[in-house]
Amino acid sequence: MDTDSHYFTIAEIEEIPARLRKTFRSGKTLPVAYRRQQLIQFGRMVQENRSAIEEALKKDMGKPRFEAGTAELVPTFTSIITALNNIEEWATPEKRKVEEWRSDWETMVYPVPKGCALIIAPWNYPFVLAFNPLAGAIAAGCPAVIKPSEHSPTVAALSAKLVRQYLDPEAYIVVNGGIPETTVLLNHRWDHIFYTGNPTVGRIVAEVAAKHLTSTTLELGGKSPVVVAEDCDVEITARRVLWGKVQNCGQLCVSPDHVYVPRSIIPAFTEALKRAHAHFYPEQVFNKSMEWGKMIHCDHHNRVMRQLEQTVGTVVLGGEVEGDTKIAPTIVTGIPLDDALMEAEIFGPILPIIPVDNVEEAINLIAEGPSPLVIYAFTNDEALQKRLIRETRSGSLVINDTYIQLLVYELPFGGFGESGNGTYFGKHSFDAFTHRRSFLHVPTSLDSTPLFQARYPPYTQQGYDA
């Protein structure tokens, strides 16, 4: 790579895994002092380049500055600070209590780095989804390659520049490019692969990882449903659902994809959504003052629009388009289960409302489908909340809000089944890149004890009785 370029040639990429492995084998990334120093540098990287990162996010996807701050910069910085504040404790070997008769054996669990990690990130939150996992890798003592998405090229180029400037180049490297470059990386053996993106590529990653029996964290997508119960506060529910839907123009893995609403409250819920929309956007969203983002590229825009054009539902709000990448927040009612909007993750600012007779019907529909990344339910009925815990499966279950779970780093974040496996955030990020290695030291002096003598052949009845 020449110093101004943010891209490696294929030949250079081929050499990177061996370089990282050499660094790992040297033990350089192991001392907690080194990890701390890199985390401090990493924190400086985020803080000192805040404006440049916000600008890059604006350029790639029109991301409003507020969303860039709250959803990309703050969570990245928080994960770095959390790791810095806790790394000593997380990395400390733990003495395990054992049964009395084994109490003089040394029984420890060492949290050791898995080794060299590959982090593959998508375009929708291109900064935080590349760097939040990296905080875990650094804290765990793993060198890492970060592969940003080619669809957010400004953030990808900036990421390469900043990592080279702030972090140890022998241990942390950004490799930019698309499928050919990622394929080269995936053909090498890694000790952990952390992939965030769509489930189709998730399967490719899982397959290549299986060749080397490499562990993976797969943070995938899917259709995350909302269940609205009759007892909910309709006004707050509408506001919180719409708020989740408009984040990043619906291009959010935990976006409330579609809403199951009992028929009896659909009119009230729809009107409340319209009021929330009027409050959020007093002017047309395409007006400059509204800071409304865009679909990442024309192909994605066209895919979302195709779903909207094919729906048999009624557009009760929005539906407008500007240019070839901007879609206004859109609400569609009367959606049947086999509608075009129900075929795939929408990943755009379109909210379909599916009429159900009651919440039981919604629970059954969710329970029979693939397990989503998150289920949102709006209800204060504790019995219903317990039923949702018992009868459905998903990465997370969030009651009475949307999207906010991404700020609760104390809870593990991740999918389940079709929406992925493995978790991260806070201590869970450290754990994703850490192997818990058992250490057992059995004193040789014990060989003279009756128990040890009895274990060696020839076996005797006396030994058996002991």
| Residues assigned a catalytic role | 219, 253
Q: Is 122 near ligand NAD (CB under 6 A)?
A: yes
- In Å, how far are 119, 187, 202, 213 from 208, measured between CA atoms? 14, 7, 10, 9
Rounded Cα distance, 177 and 156, in Å: 9
What is the rounded (10 degree) CA torsion for 223, 229, 235, 238?
10
Site string for ligand NAD, 354-373 (x = CB under 6 A): -------------------x
What residues from 218 to 247 belong to the interface with ligand NAD (CB under 6 A)? 219-221
Q: Is 352 near ligand NAD (CB under 6 A)?
A: no
Of the pair 23, 124, the CB lying nearest ligand NAD is at: 124
Q: Is 149 near ligand NAD (CB under 6 A)?
A: yes
Rounded Cα distance, 201 and 180, in Å: 13
| Interface region with ligand NAD, contact rule CB under 6 A, candidates 31-39, 94-102, 197-205, 308-316 | 197-205
Of the pair 111, 250, the CB lying nearest ligand NAD is at: 250
Of the pair 87, 220, the CB lying nearest ligand NAD is at: 220
Question: Strand pairing partners for 107?
Answer: 440
Burial annotation 347-364 (CB, 10 A radius, 16+ → b, else e): bbbbbbbbebeebeebbe
Element (H, E) at 332: strand 330-333
* Selected binder of ligand NAD within 123, 172, 190, 376 (CB under 6 A): 123
Of the pair 148, 262, the CB lying nearest ligand NAD is at: 148
Q: Is 201 near ligand NAD (CB under 6 A)?
A: yes
Q: Is 150 near ligand NAD (CB under 6 A)?
A: yes
Of the pair 113, 177, the CB lying nearest ligand NAD is at: 177
Q: Which of 145, 135, 218, 132 is nearest to 181 (CA)?
A: 145
Based on C-alpha coordinates, what's the Rg of the chain? 25
Query: Is beta strand 350-356 parallel, antiparallel or unpaired with respect to 256-262?
Result: parallel
Q: Is 129 near ligand NAD (CB under 6 A)?
A: yes
Q: Is 258 near ligand NAD (CB under 6 A)?
A: no
Q: What is the number of the residue whose Cβ is closest to ligand NAD?
A: 221
Query: Is beta strand 144-147 parallel, antiparallel or unpaired with respect to 172-174?
Result: parallel
Q: Which residues bind ligand NAD (CB under 6 A)?
A: 120-124, 129, 147, 149-151, 178-179, 182-183, 196-198, 201, 204, 219-221, 253, 345, 347, 373, 415, 420
